[in-house]
Amino acid sequence: MTDLDLVWKNLFRKPLRTILLTVSIFMAFLIFGILTSLNVALDRASESGSASNRLVVSNKINFTQSMPYAYINRVAAIPGVTAVTYQNWFGAYYQDQRTSRFVGFAVDPETYMAIFRDEARLTDAERQAFLTERTGVIVGKSLADRYGWKVGQTIPISSNIYSQANGRRSWDMKISGIFTGAKPTDPTTAIYFHYDYMNETITFGRDQVGTITVVTASPDQNDQVAKAIDANFANSPAETSTVDEKTFSRAFLKQAGDLNFIVTMVVSAAFAAILMIVSTTLVSAMRERTKEIGVMKTLGFSSPRVLRMVLGEAVLLSSLGAVLGLGTSAFILTGLSKSPVGSNFGDLSMSPVVALSGLALAVSLGLVTGAVPALSALRMSIIEALNRG
């Protein structure tokens, strides 16, 4: 019989107790697995589709304020800028304003597709169709799946901001293509259509652009180019604020609240709870075994060996709960990714980093909870142990 067998036997000496402890640990790691992965996905969402040499120019007052159309050419003329495109938020929805809103931008097809070629993948035929059809729209695959849209179909897209001169609030758009993301897991819940089509038909806000995307010659020049752009428009009625794409989207996501903070608090609370439960239960479990430890020491088990066995039992217990908890959360996350709410986050599946840090956490949890009983087992003299219990 090896030490491991002995540890295993000890662990299941009272099966109910071990199962209950495993359930506690399982729940904590379930919370850890799901919340941390959600957090990672959100962080990644702010970075997905952001290239290091792309900048976003928006109105300095706030990004919902527009800028004159003429800014596009002025930005393009600034040294270090290699490409420029622009987009207008449309407040798009399909049929029902409350339940089917999605991201919709009016863009300049040619420059947009050149810069975002990887983020919105289309076939050459689809790309060509989008360029030539004035009322063309490209839709993300997730949206197309959700509403059953097909290429060539004409769909009414409404805006909760703009209206047409003829009083209509929806625009008929012909689907030129259905795009997929750079990775199959990237969120594709947006539509893009011709800026000109919108600009010619809206009743207000003509010749204004929402944000301008700038590609710089290299990421090293980002700061310099950003400063040059903002300086160019200083003291004008529409001053600009230029930041890199990642900073822009991160600031936007942070508006909802500090999710990092909430996740840290909840995960710590869950772990504090099981730490208390597991360590006190193990202490009392060891106390029941005092006599046995005395016998083992009498038989020649060295104190360090006893220590290792007690610690091993605690680590085995916490790893058991952790593996089950992490496994279950990975399973739940996969399901969540496929749900309509989850698909907005893109890839929710558990990353190796989360899984590994979970396992590391399990080992440290085992060591911490096993520490007190292990130390008391180590210090215990044979006489004392055999007398007690």
Partner 1 sequence: MSLLNQTGSVIAMNVRSIPQRLWMSLATVGSIALVVAVLLGFLALANGFNQTLKGSGAPDVAITLRDGAASELNSVVSREQIDLLGQGPGVRAGPDGRPLISAELVLIVDGIKKSTGTKANMPLRGIGPNGLLVRPQAKITQGRMFTPGSNEIVVGAGLLREFSGFELGKTLRFGAQTWKVVGVFEAPGTVFESELWADAPVIQSLFKRGSTFQTARIGLTSPAAMPAFVKYVKDEQRLQLKAQSEQTYFADQAERSGLLIKYFGWPLGIIMAIGALAGALNTMYASVSSRAAEIATLRVIGFSGFSAFIGTMVEALVLSALGALVGVAICALGFNGLSASTLGAGFTQVAFRLQIGPDIITQAVTLALIIGLIGGIFPGLRASRQRPLLALAT
List contacts with partner 1 (CB under 8 A). 16-17, 20-21, 23-28, 30-31, 60-62, 64-65, 91, 97-98, 160-161, 169, 204, 235-239, 241, 250-251, 254-258, 261, 265-266, 269-270, 272-274, 276-277, 279-281, 283-284, 341
CB of residue 342 vs partner 1: minimum separation in angstroms? 10
**Which of 44, 169 has the CB closer to partner 1?**
169
* CA atoms in the 13 A half-sphere facing the CB of 363: 5
- Please report, as a single letter, which amino acid is at residue 98: R
Q: Measured between alpha carbons, how far is 252 from 219 in angstroms, rounded to an integer?
A: 22
- Please report, as a single letter, which amino acid is at residue 90: F
Q: Measured between alpha carbons, how far is 376 from 200 in angstroms, rounded to an integer?
A: 81
- Please report, as a single letter, which amino acid is at residue 272: A
Query: For residue 174, what are the β-bridge partners?
Result: 136, 154
**Which of 131, 265 has the CB closer to partner 1?**
265
CB of residue 375 vs partner 1: minimum separation in angstroms? 15
**Which of 75, 81 has the CB closer to partner 1?**
75
**Which of 276, 375 has the CB closer to partner 1?**
276
CA pseudo-torsion sign 193, 196, 197, 199: positive
CB of residue 283 vs partner 1: minimum separation in angstroms? 6
CB of residue 83 vs partner 1: minimum separation in angstroms? 25
**Which of 80, 325 has the CB closer to partner 1?**
325
**Which of 151, 324 has the CB closer to partner 1?**
324
CB of residue 111 vs partner 1: minimum separation in angstroms? 26
Strands annotated E in 90-134: 92-93, 103-107
**Which of 251, 353 has the CB closer to partner 1?**
251
**Residue that has been written with the tokens 């046995």 in this structure:** 292
Asked if 315 and 367 touch (Cβ cutoff 8 Å), the reply is: yes
Q: Of 234, 201, 241, 252, whose CA–CA distance to 46 is shortest?
A: 252
CB of residue 352 vs partner 1: minimum separation in angstroms? 24
> How distant is the alpha carbon of residue 142 from its chain centre?
17
- Please report, as a single letter, which amino acid is at residue 199: N
CB of residue 129 vs partner 1: minimum separation in angstroms? 31
Q: Measured between alpha carbons, how far is 17 from 285 in angstroms, rounded to an integer?
A: 9
**Which of 166, 235 has the CB closer to partner 1?**
235
Could you give the maximum distance between any two Cα atoms of the chain, in Å? Answer: 98
CB of residue 27 vs partner 1: minimum separation in angstroms? 3
- Please report, as a single letter, which amino acid is at residue 263: V
